[in-house]
Amino acid sequence: MKIWLFLICFAVMLPAVAQRTPPKTKPLQGTPEGFVQVGFQLNVMQYIGDLPAGIKFARPGASLYFSRKITAHWHTRLQLSVGRIEGDDAAASPLSGVYARNLHFRNDLKELAGLLVYEFKGSYGKYAKRANFTPYLLGGVALLHHNPRAKVPTAMGEGWIDLQSLGTEGQGRIGYAKPYNKAQITIPLGIGFRFRTPDKRWDFAIEILPRYTFTDYLDDVSGQYPDMADLANPWSVALSNRTLEPTQARTNTPRALDQVSGGFGNPISYIGFDGQTYRTLPDFVRGKDNRGNPKTKDMYISYGFQVSYILNVGLKCPQARW
């Protein structure tokens, strides 16, 4: 996370540094020519949150954008992105509490972002004279729609089910938090490297773009286990506490329950106020924070390869000393 904190500080300071740069040499390089670009990007998506999600859980995504050059260094961008993120406790050690928790998810993301792009090598004069290579920073704000899902327990059938409406941590029930929103605001902030092709209207780039979110529910996991008797229906119960499932639902493989019981004790039973009997591991009951970590927010990152084409040239750039 330290490298992203550095990028944040650097991006905040960059406009101020640029304004202090003496502008006396810039007019000698020619007046910047504005242009409009359209671009397409293939992404690899990765999630960072409460569940394990290493490179084996990287999933595909794509972006389409329109960009407009506004000064020698700055471009605006409107970008539409789609992609999938995933995570699974089965990737953890069988001796760990994460493995015992036995949660997983997948989430199909839809994002509309407004971005500012700062190219370190300024582009003066005609579009054809833009730099052959330049690193750049980009950041802005985005509207995200997400919908975490999980595979149902093998004993209950097959297929994937939406998690938000189930209130797996008691959301929407008396004494619990409100349901989380599927629409979220995110802050994209990243870095890229652009290359100009011999054909003067085509560029390609590689780009890393993390999205910092204000939600801890991209994975439907955040805080404590609810009391199973408080949940709305059997589906909510089944998807909330999966510690004793003999089969890992996502991969349909047996779980190491003997190691889980050895590390956390034999399963316990309790009778809820509804008269039903519920079973779980001793440490995985209401009041424990081991379902998730509410102190941190989830995030996701795209690693992309981008191709763009200049549609329109000869546009005027606003006169600004940036």
Q: Is 208 a residue whose pLDDT tops 70?
A: yes
Q: Extract the tokens encoding 247.
A: 């089969």
pLDDT digits (tens, 9 = 90+) for 166-186: 999 999 999 999 999 999 999
Beta carbons of 62 and 82 less than 8 angstroms apart = yes
For residue 125, give the amino acid letter: G
Angle, CA 234 vertex, CA 182 and CA 50 arms, to 5°: 45
Q: What is the CA radius of gyration of the chain?
A: 25
Q: Extract the tokens encoding 89.
A: 């406790």
Tell me if the pTM is above 0.75: yes
Q: Is 13 a residue whose pLDDT tops 50?
A: no
Burial class (CB in 10 A: 0-12, 13-18, 19+), 223: buried
Residue 271: band (very low, low, confident or very high) from pLDDT cuts 50, 70, 90: confident
* 2-16, 69-83, 153-167, 222-236: range with lowest mean pLDDT: 2-16
Q: What is the pLDDT of residue 318?
A: 67
